[in-house]
Chain A
């Protein structure tokens, strides 16, 4: 180790230059992992998957112990709910069939449930408090590509931002740099849904660039818009919980996402790309 101390300055300068070069190289374009990184990723993600399972197992046991006395009541409540859903389901099957026939008549070729999806487990999350990205256990081998849409129980979760051989990094919609072109399902008024790190403790999203004339109100359902360059239209995001006005004569809305990001363990990836020419708002 003596040579290290002998050439102290050179070592430090070399490391600094190396990291600056890496920064310049990876900042140029939307960088994707090379072979070395992928090989390394293969090892790391497998270990991470193992540890995540251990963590989830303990967390489940802990939840079980904490909730033991409420389980009976909850069970009864759920039984009743199932009965309700069964009745509802029978009705909906009928409506769905009717819808299918009518859709065929109208020649609409795309529906929400038609997207080919693949289930994935979350195996790691970003170690900093600044970003909201996570790793999933599917990669290029499973047909994933950058900008594929990621759904979770409840609605939109995010998009794939980096793909390795057997893993992929997902940027969630609550990430500070994420932007989704969205609209109110009821009125069709347009806006951009941003993550906001300052809202991270409340779990809310901020929808900006809503024009003053729009009549979005509290309780409106927000879905992805058809002008989005990444997301297909009509995917559920969440509900408006409050409205406000920005200094530049635009309104903003706070949106509660329907996906519970703090308890997410599985997601599904839509293995089909919807990307077309970017219109500029969803680039960070």
Chain B
């Protein structure tokens, strides 16, 4: 159940990102909603699930638009993995932690994306890319992060409640 729901979310997000989000550009910059979903999911569920979800989301984008398949998959996987690290140590009702983590993750992800896709092709004027693309994207991501975290938190709560019920049911049957 959980697997189906999360893949549906990723798939739907990809569709929206590639079609409708183009209308929501601010000064030619689009938010990376896939990244926000991966980070928030990893925070709620831990590093391994974060890594798996990140891998799938990255692969989806790669298959259609990547110059080399696997770059986004690898980067998203590690983003999900590292963002899932502190998941037991914070209050999940608090919004400060996700905001900080999404900010850091956006900067790191976009920077590594730049390294893989541009620096290795000989584009060295990093500062211009940083100011023109990386910072604006991170800011846009921060704005959306609150809403997406709220949504993911709700969905995750429902799933966990359902899993809890199922587990209780199993225990009763065994006992």
Binding site for B on A (CB under 8 A): 1, 4-5, 8, 11-12, 15-16, 18-23, 25-27, 31, 33, 37, 40-41, 44, 47-48, 51-52, 54-55, 58-59, 123-131, 133, 135, 169, 176-177, 197-198, 200-201, 262, 284
State whether A44 touches B15 (Cβ < 8 A).
yes
Q: How far is the CA of A33 from the CA of B62 in the complex (A)?
A: 11
Evaluate whether A52 and B19 lie within 8 angstroms (CB atoms) in the complex, with A4-B48, A11-B51, A11-B52 already known: yes
- Size class of the contact patch on chain B: 35 or more
Chain B, residues 26-60, CB within 8 Å of chain A (1/0): the string is 01111010100000000000111101100100110
State whether B61 touches A128 (Cβ < 8 A).
yes
Binding site for A on B (CB under 8 A): 2, 14-23, 27-30, 32, 34, 46-49, 51-52, 55, 58-59, 61-71, 73-74, 77-78, 81, 113-114, 117-118, 121, 123, 125, 128-129, 132-133, 136-137
Which 10 A-B pairs have CB atoms at the shortest separation, nearest pair first? A22-B70, A23-B70, A124-B18, A19-B74, A19-B70, A51-B19, A127-B17, A26-B69, A19-B73, A52-B19
Q: How far is the CA of A51 from the CA of B14 in the complex (A)?
A: 11
State whether A5 touches B18 (Cβ < 8 A).
no
Residues from chain A with Cβ under 8 Å of B21 in the complex: 127
Evaluate whether A130 and B113 lie within 8 angstroms (CB atoms) in the complex, with A22-B70, A23-B71 already known: yes
Nearest A-chain residue to B3, judged by Cβ = A1
Chain B min CB distance to A39 (Å): 11
Nearest B-chain residue to A199, judged by Cβ = B132
Chain B min CB distance to A155 (Å): 21
State whether A127 touches B65 (Cβ < 8 A).
yes
Nearest A-chain residue to B116, judged by Cβ = A23
Residues from chain A with Cβ under 8 Å of B19 in the complex: 48, 51-52, 55, 123-125
Nearest B-chain residue to A62, judged by Cβ = B23
State whether B18 touches A126 (Cβ < 8 A).
yes
A4-B49, A16-B78, A22-B69 given; 19 more Cβ-contact pairs under 8 Å: A4-B52, A11-B48, A19-B59, A22-B62, A22-B73, A37-B63, A51-B20, A52-B20, A55-B19, A55-B22, A126-B65, A128-B32, A128-B61, A130-B133, A131-B65, A131-B117, A135-B64, A169-B64, A284-B121
Evaluate whether A31 and B69 lie within 8 angstroms (CB atoms) in the complex, with A8-B48, A55-B23, A124-B19 already known: yes
State whether B64 touches A44 (Cβ < 8 A).
yes
Residues from chain A with Cβ under 8 Å of B48 in the complex: 4-5, 8, 11-12
Contact of A26 among B28, B34, B70, B128 (CB under 8 A): B70
- Highest count of chain B CB atoms <10 Å: which of A1, A130, A176: A130
State whether B18 touches A125 (Cβ < 8 A).
yes
Evaluate whether A48 and B15 lie within 8 angstroms (CB atoms) in the complex, with A130-B117, A169-B64 already known: yes
Residues from chain A with Cβ under 8 Å of B2 in the complex: 1
Residues from chain A with Cβ under 8 Å of B136 in the complex: 129
Chain B min CB distance to A13 (Å): 11
State whether A15 touches B132 (Cβ < 8 A).
no
Q: How far is the CA of A14 from the CA of B70 in the complex (A)?
A: 13
Residues from chain B with Cβ under 8 Å of A47 in the complex: 15
Residues from chain A with Cβ under 8 Å of B117 in the complex: 130-131
